[in-house]
Amino acid sequence: MGGLTLQPVSLTGIEPEVTRPAPDRVVAGHPVHRTWNLEDRDGLFCGIWESTPGSWRVAYDEWEYIRILSGLSVLHPDGGDPVTLRPGDAWVIRPGFTGVWEVIETTRKDYVVRL
């Protein structure tokens, strides 16, 4: 389907990478992340990410586009107002963003990261 120039966004046949935030970054809970990487080349990464409830500190050195597919999360920017993320919401997170990512209900997003 499309050869090398067209990639469907599908989880079929892809095993997720299972990770947790570094223990020193966890603020609350025991979040577990699953990531299905669909593309990883030339500083570009994209795929589907999911996390169970919990919160942890984040610090972005890269650009990330996200679109929430399911669940409920809140981004708490350092020095700013919280942003609630619901299904259908799309955001660009720019390098330099720091704060806390809080997952209230297991959240799944698609993402594109550019280093």
Q: Residue ranges of the alpha helices (H) in 1-97?
A: none
We report the CATH number of the domain holding residue 69 as 2.60.120.10
Q: Note whether 59 and 21 are within 8 A (CB).
A: no
In a domain, 7, yes or no: no
The DSSP 8-state label assigned to residue 20 in this structure reads: -
Above pLDDT 90, what percent of the chain? 88
Checking if the pLDDT of 5 tops 90, the result is no
What is the 3-class SS of 3-18, one letter each residue? CCCCCCCCCCCCCCEE
In a domain, 72, yes or no: yes
Checking if the pLDDT of 20 tops 80, the result is yes
Record the pTM.
0.92
Alpha-carbon separation of residue 37 from 28, 32, 84, 99 (angstroms): 26, 16, 25, 24
Checking if the pLDDT of 1 tops 70, the result is no
> What was the pLDDT predicted at 80?
97
Mean pLDDT for the stretch of residues 13-25: 96
Mean pLDDT for the stretch of residues 94-103: 98
Domain region containing 32? 17-114
- Using DSSP bridges, classify how beta strands 90-93 and 98-114 pair: parallel, antiparallel or unpaired: unpaired
Mean pLDDT for the stretch of residues 61-85: 98
Mean pLDDT for the stretch of residues 39-57: 96
Domain count, the chain: 1
